[in-house]
Structure 1
Amino acid sequence: MAYPRGIDISSYQASSLAFMQTKKQQGARFAIVKLTEGTRYLNPKASAQITNGLKVFNSVGVYHFFHGYGLAEAKHFLGGIKAFGLDTSTVLAIDVEASDLPTSTTSQVNVFLKYLIAHGYKHVITYGSASWFNTGRIKRSALVDKHIWVAAYNNYAPGVANANAWQYTDNFHGVDASLDFDGSLSGTTTVAKPSYYQTPGLYEVRIGQIHAYNDLAAKSKRYVRLRKGSRIYGTPVKYGKITRLKTPLGYFTTNKAFIKFIKKAG
């Protein structure tokens, strides 16, 4: 089985029950809703998105888009959380990516996280791009809570060791999508491990698109990608504990969340 997939949405997306039901049919199992931003903004669709999300998904969390004012923004976020009646089991994420943030933002992220934790909300997670974590703009080692949600749009890995969740695409049927590795993002206690194909044959792409790589380690990306529904013959080859799909176009993922087996070769 694959890791559970979730969507994160804001006022740019729909809020109807039908929208949530469609996303579940397409493969989403939980949702994260933008609640607040800065010290004043409140997502006008948040109430309907949370209400309808809870009718469809096992879990709905909320996130705050951060601009660097730790205490003031945490108070604004918590005000929204309580106004919507979200209890302390809710997953709360801080979205750290704004262009106006300083080079080092960890100290103010900690102020934000500490405030939430002090008010009983223990399920917190910090979102940022792989480059921000790897260059130290967000210093995971210094965070008061080490749970991280990493954005890296590729079909192999988040690129940050031991990430708890991975936003792997910004176009899962038109929305951002993430995989939850250990329950930190979905709020679940049991999470299935990914599985990989072993059989040579014909494969079909499940998601929006996947990239080809020149090497098994997926360090050298090719200008080749296969879109959802594309089919290709290949042979899975071992790479550590997983496999990669060797094809005439390069190496692709064999992760069952991203690609599906159609038939054996020959």
Structure 2
Amino acid sequence: MKKIISGMLICTVLLNSFSVIASGEELVKTETTGETGLVTQATSETTTNSTEDTSSVTEENTSERDSSTSSTKEESLDSSTNSTTEEHSSVSETNTTDSKTEASQSSEVEKKTIDQDEADYQEAAREGTNHKKGTYAMKNGLSSRVARATVANVYANDPNLPGKNFIDVSSWNGDISVAEYQKIKSYGVTGVSVKLTEGTWYVNPYAAGQIRNAKAAGLKVSAYHYSMYVSAATAQDEARYFAQAAANSGLDKNTIMFNDAEDPTLTNNGRNAHANSVAFNQQLKALGYKNDALYVGKWWLTNGYIDTSAFGRDRVWVAQYPYTPDSSMQWNNDHGAWQWSSQMYFPGLANYEGRPFDISMTYSNFLNMGNSSGPDLSKYYTTNPGRVVVMKDETFYNNADFTSKGAAVKKNTLVEVQGIEYSSTGYPRLVTPQGYLTARKDIVLAAIS
């Protein structure tokens, strides 16, 4: 019996011991999985220690993570700051580079423009061109031949025409004798504008004779320069060239001096035709030619290439050709003069149908060609009479202007005449072996052979 009881006790103890062990293992597993459960004291302590250890580890890990995160943020911030700085630096460098590039490109463009201007100017000089006034004035790019195909011929004896105040001539008109100028004058023309120069390379070889004979015929003379400048500097050079030619041709500083601004070279490649034209005229003034003026086509004014108010509109001569001009027309009367045809013919001139002239009318007193003073040529011999009888005591002179006296000549003396020359003011003189003698018909009489 005792053996049975003793065996039962042993079994009970073993079972309880097994249960505690099993329960401890289960709780450990529960703690490990994080699930909530009942714990024994021993296990609780173990669990507490485990939790503290876990917490410590967690805190350490968290601290490390925080530290790592903080470090990462700092690194990220530093990286971002560095990146931003680098970007700003890069942008700054890029902007600086772009600015330098733009400045360089601008400088290159400016240099190319200057080089192109110089090349164009040198090319024009090599060509040695001799343009006729109005070649481009009627319309940009139109040649005078094209213009002639679209503009009617006009004849000086037609009464139904705009005013015929003055003509302009160049080498294309060739030699014009005093008698021919007189015939032109008989149609009411009172002045002539003579082309002197072009660019800095051309002087009209006929200019001296055209000026001399026009003065001799009693016409008022002005001069013009066909401009080819590409800059203010070349404009000033051309003005000096023009002024020197005027002086060489015997034109005084009161002469009206026209800047003929019409060639496309003046506006090609965006050139400032207005500023350069102003520079030309200002240079003329600086040289003492105060009566500077401007010739320009209406097309240029319409397109704004030149502002004529800068020159004084009463000093501006505008070209515009109507297809059928008539006496009622007064185009461009807000300026000083109007060139209305390049196809004016003067009946009575030799081969007149093959000799067209440019014709203009004036509006302003400044450009009025009607104030010419000269002799009444009907009272003088203008062709060689061969021999003359002196009707009263007279004097021979050593020059055509009668500023230097020569020998005396008695009344009724028969004098041989070699030719006719004119004074600088337009008076005819008889050229004789003894010197110059008056050509007045009331003082000398043509001898009958």
TM-score by length of 1: 0.65
- Counterpart for residue 63 of structure 1: 224
Partners of 2:220 and 2:305 in 1: CA distance:
30
Q: Out of 359, 365, 374, which is 1:177 matched to? A: 359
**2-side partners of 1:111 and 1:145: how far apart?**
15
Give the Cα–Cα distance (whole angstroms) in 2 for the partners of residues 4 and 79 of structure 1.
30
SS in structure 2 opposite 1:149?
strand
Partner of 2:417: none
Match of 1:32 in 2: 193
Q: 1:53 aligns with which of 207, 214, 229?
A: 214
Using the TM superposition, give the Cα deviation of residue 145 of structure 1 relative to its aligned residue in structure 2, in angstroms. 4.2
Structure 2 partner of 1:90: 255
Letter matched to residue 361 of structure 2: L
For 1:189 and 1:17, how far apart are their aligned partners in 2? 19
Rounded to whole Å, the distance in 2 between the matches of 1:66 and 1:188 is: 27
Whether the 8 Å CA contact 2:333–2:363 is kept in 1: the answer is no
User: 1:167 corresponds to which letter in structure 2?
Assistant: Q
The CA deviation at 1:185 is 2.6
Contact 2:258–2:293 (CA under 8 A) maintained in structure 1: yes
Q: In structure 2, do the counterparts of structure 1 residues 171 and 4 end up closer, same or farther at CA, with 3 Å as the change threshold?
A: closer
Deviations 1:7-43 (A, max 9, x none): 0000011322232122112331100000000011000
Aligned to 1:130: 298
Change (3 A) 1:161 1:27: closer
Kept in 2, the 8 Å contact 1:149–1:164? The answer is: yes
Q: Is the 8 A contact 1:66 1:73 kept in 2?
A: yes
CA contact (8 A) 1:165 1:184 kept: no
Query: What is the aligned residue count?
Result: 187
In the other structure, the counterpart of 1:43 is: 204
Note if 1:157 corresponds to 2:325: no
Partner of 1:12: 172
CA contact (8 A) 1:74 1:116 kept: yes
Three-state SS of the structure 1 residue aligned to 2:213 is: helix
Post-superposition offset of 1:183: 2.9
Q: Provide the residue aligned with 1:201 in structure 2.
A: none
Q: Is the 8 A contact 1:169 1:176 kept in 2?
A: yes
Whichever structure has more strand as a proportion of its residues is 1
Q: SS at the partner of 1:21?
A: helix
Give the structure 1 partner of residue 281 of structure 2.
113
The equivalent of 1:254 in structure 2 is none
- Structure 1 residue identity aligned to 2:198: E
2:362 & 2:333 partners in 1: Cα distance?
14
| In structure 2, C-alpha distance between the alignment counterparts of 1:29 and 1:64, rounded to whole Å | 21
The separation in 1 between residues aligned to 2:341 and 2:213, in whole angstroms, is 23
Shift of 1:122: 1.6
Q: Structure 2 vs 1, CA of residues 187 and 21 (structure 1 numbering), >3 Å: closer, same or farther?
A: closer
Let me know the Cα RMSD of the aligned residues.
Answer: 2.0
Whether the 8 Å CA contact 1:17–1:52 is kept in 2: the answer is: yes
* Aligned 8 A contact 2:335 2:364 in 1: no
Q: Which has the larger radius of gyration?
A: 2
**What letter corresponds to residue 341 of structure 2 in structure 1?**
T
Higher helix share: 2
8 Å CA contact 2:341–2:360 kept in 1: the answer is yes
**Distance of 2:214 and 2:279 partners within structure 1:** 29
Deviation per CA, 1:33-57: give whole Å up to 9, x if none.
0000001100000000000011113
Instruction: Give 1:188 shift.
Output: 5.6
Unmatched runs of 5 consecutive residues or more in structure 2: 1-161, 346-355, 373-449
Please tell me whether the aligned partners of residues 47 and 84 of structure 1 are also in contact (alpha carbons under 8 angstroms).
yes
Q: Using the alignment, how far apart are the partners of 2:185 and 2:370 within structure 1?
A: 17
Match of 1:208 in 2: none
1:112 Cα deviation after fit: 0.8
SS at match of 2:211: helix
**Structure 2 CA distance, aligned partners of 1:11 and 1:186?**
24
Q: Secondary structure at the match of 1:100?
A: helix
C-alpha displacement of 1:186: 4.0
- Decide whether the 8 Å contact of 1:105 with 1:137 is kept in 2: yes
The alpha carbon displacement at 1:72 in A equals 0.9
**Cα 1:6–1:167 shift into 2, 3 Å:** same
Question: Shift in Å at residue 119 of structure 1?
Answer: 2.1
Shift of 1:4: 5.7
